[in-house]
Structure formats: structure tokens, C-alpha cells
Amino acid sequence: MATEKPLLKVDNLSVRFPVKRGGPFTGKSFLHAVDDISFEVKRGETLAIVGESGSGKTTAALAVARLVDAYQGKVDLAGHDFLELEGEDLRKARAKVQFIFQDPYASLNPRLRAEAIVQEPLDSLDAGPAVQRQERIDELFRAVGLRPEQQRLFPHQFSGGQRQRIGIARALATQPELIICDEPVSALDVAVQAQILNLLRKLQKDFGLTYLFISHDLGVVQHMCDSIAVMYMGKIVEQADRKSLFNNPQHPYTQALLSAVPSVDRKRREATKRILIPGDPPDPINPPKGCRFANRCPVAESRCTESQPALMATDEHHKVACHLLHR
């Protein structure tokens, strides 16, 4: 049986930011925010990208959507070489990728009514006469669980969860295929988080959406994704389907992240001791030549500081970048 082509395929993507350092005689330096990462997302599925603050999750997503420039790499979106598109082709392809942001308050224009916020992306698409547009807005409000009369309200008149629903309706307006959710529930209370995650799952099923779901919290993605990429300092250090990653985390960094997630499974809860990660990540402008996790890794060996481990398969469903796993 032929396997279906993924909706999104990212190959060897890197993003560097020029930074100025030191006195007038020091040359230009670069911060390697994303360093040679590859992943794919199948249609209708969710890939979670997880990692602590500064690991490059948002930058990777922005580069995929062409909102920051890639230094190198290839992004194939539905069979198009997305980074090479121009003009009308680019405009059309862009409408197929939408973002849902962490802070719905900051990402919604406070001077616009909810209906105008959701309508905005339709205007730029030239989406038919006014009546049709109104129907579409009604439909979108229904889909995200908001009442019709709430269309006339301004963002400050909504709760945090409701504001995120407006953000989701806006993202859905252009009938995108890929939705990038960047920490969509991090700013919300735990109870509201669950409601928004359930809504995202329902919309995925109803509209066949594909999600790239970014979070610093493995707990948030444990019921939300089909596969996971764990990032550390611009690199993917572990990549697996959800079951393999949660049942058998292999990279010391993932093991530490996962040990902090309260498990519903009693056996796993009892078997896992919290692993604390000491210290801070090294300077991203001058990363170490060996493994980037070496200065914090509880099981580091001398070779870890000498060469960088490559991301390699440990089985059919799992890739890990750690010297200890590839002897």
C-alpha cells in the first residue's frame, strides 16, 4: 500500500539571527536559533514540538510559515516548495497556514469587535459578497462555541478562554489546512486549558485539520498529539510517535521533562522519580562543540563534550540524538 504524502515536510531547516557583540572590532556573530531540523506532519494529524524556553520552537514555526527567513532548508507544503513560492501562488499558499497564539489578548485588536476580527482574514481573501461572509462568520462562531450576540463585543468583554476561541475562529476563517498552535493554552487556567484542547481536537476531526502544536509542557500535549519532536537549543534531540515517547523516553533531556509530568498511569507514576535538570543551557551564540546538553546531563561522558550526537533511529518509530544510544 502506498503511504500518503505528508501535508508538511521540513528538511534541514536552519534559522540564524545576526547579533552584535562586544566592541567595534568584533565581527558579526549569529545566534543559531534553529539548527538543521527535519520533521513531517501527516494530513489530519498533530505533531507536537516540545522544549523549554529559548529552544527555538516559535522560530521554527515562524520559518515554516515564512514569517522569519530560513537560513537554509526546505519546506514542502502540500506538494509545493513553500519557501520558493512568490506572488499570487505565495498568497494562496499562505492562506492555507494559520497561527493560533499563546496570548489571545495581545493578538486580538482591542479596537475591533469580535466579528470584525474574525472577518479580517476573509477580506484579504476577497471571499464573496457580504451576505456570504456574514454566514461564514456565524458558522465560525458556532464552531468555536460562541453565541451569535457575542459577535458585537470587544476583546476586553470576553474571558481568556473565550478570547482564545475568537483567535481560533479567526484562524479557521480561510479554511486552512495547517494550523500552527503556539502555546495556545499556556496563558489559561487549567480547567479552561482542557476546554480549549477539547475544542481543538473536535475541530481537527470535523474539518480534517493538521496541527503543528508547540508547547513547553509535555503534560499539555500528552492527549493532543500523534507524534512529538523534543527540541533543545535549536536541535531536535528526540522524535517519536506519542506512545513510544511517553512509554519509552530515551534522551536524558526528555526523561527529565517527562519526569515532571503527572502521569495518569499509576505504575508509571510510581516508577518515575522527578529528575531535576541543573543549571542553564549554554550560550546560543557560542554553542559547545559537543552535545549541547552535556553541561546539564546527569549521565554525560567525556566523549559527549567532544562531538555532537546525530539524530538517529533507535527503532522504526523513534529517533534519538545521544551518544549513549548509538555505540
Ligand X SMILES: Nc1ncnc2c1ncn2[C@@H]1O[C@H](COP(=O)(O)OP(=O)(O)OP(=O)(O)O)[C@@H](O)[C@H]1O
| Binding site residues, ligand SF4, CB under 6 A | 251-252, 291, 293-294, 297, 299-300, 304, 309, 322-324
The yes or no reply on residue 57 touching ligand X (CB under 6 A) is yes
- Of 285, 233, 283, the C-alpha closest to 27 is 285
**What is the Cα–Cα distance from 307 to 4, expressed in whole angstroms?**
36
The yes or no reply on residue 66 touching ligand X (CB under 6 A) is no
Query: Which of Mg ion, ligand X, ligand SF4, none is residue 155 near (CB under 5 to 8 Å by kind)?
Result: none
Query: Which of ligand SF4, ligand X, Mg ion, none is residue 240 near (CB under 5 to 8 Å by kind)?
Result: none
- Of 123, 117, 73, 116, the C-alpha closest to 95 is 123
**What is the Cα–Cα distance from 235 to 41, expressed in whole angstroms?**
18
Copy the grid coordinates of residue 281.
543551557
Q: Which residues pair with 97 in a beta bridge?
A: 178
Query: Which of Mg ion, ligand X, ligand SF4, none is residue 169 near (CB under 5 to 8 Å by kind)?
Result: none
Choose which of 6, 54, 155, 249 interacts with ligand X (CB under 6 A).
54
The yes or no reply on residue 250 touching Mg ion (CB under 5 A) is no
Residue number with CB closer to ligand X (31 or 294): 31
Choose which of 58, 210, 222, 244 interacts with Mg ion (CB under 5 A).
58
The yes or no reply on residue 51 touching ligand X (CB under 6 A) is yes
**Helix, strand or coil for residue 8?**
strand
Query: Which of Mg ion, ligand X, ligand SF4, none is residue 51 near (CB under 5 to 8 Å by kind)?
Result: ligand X
Query: Which of ligand SF4, Mg ion, ligand X, none is residue 17 near (CB under 5 to 8 Å by kind)?
Result: ligand X
Q: Are 233 and 53 in contact (CB under 8 A)?
A: no
Residue number with CB closer to ligand SF4 (299 or 312): 299
The yes or no reply on residue 14 touching ligand X (CB under 6 A) is no
Q: Which element (helix H / strand E) includes 120? A: helix 114-125
Least distance in Å: CB of 55 to Mg ion?
8
The yes or no reply on residue 215 touching Mg ion (CB under 5 A) is no
- Of 41, 52, 105, the C-alpha closest to 296 is 52
Let me know the angle formed at the C-alpha of 203 by 176 and 64, rounded to the nearest 5 degrees.
Answer: 35
Residue number with CB closer to ligand X (29 or 255): 29
- Give me the numbers of helices (H) and strands (E) for the chain, helices first please: 11, 12
The yes or no reply on residue 184 touching ligand X (CB under 6 A) is no
| DSSP E strand stretches across 101-226 | 178-182, 210-215
The yes or no reply on residue 284 touching ligand X (CB under 6 A) is yes
The yes or no reply on residue 31 touching ligand X (CB under 6 A) is yes
- Of 198, 197, 133, 203, the C-alpha closest to 169 is 203
Name the residues that contact Mg ion, by CB under 5 A.
58
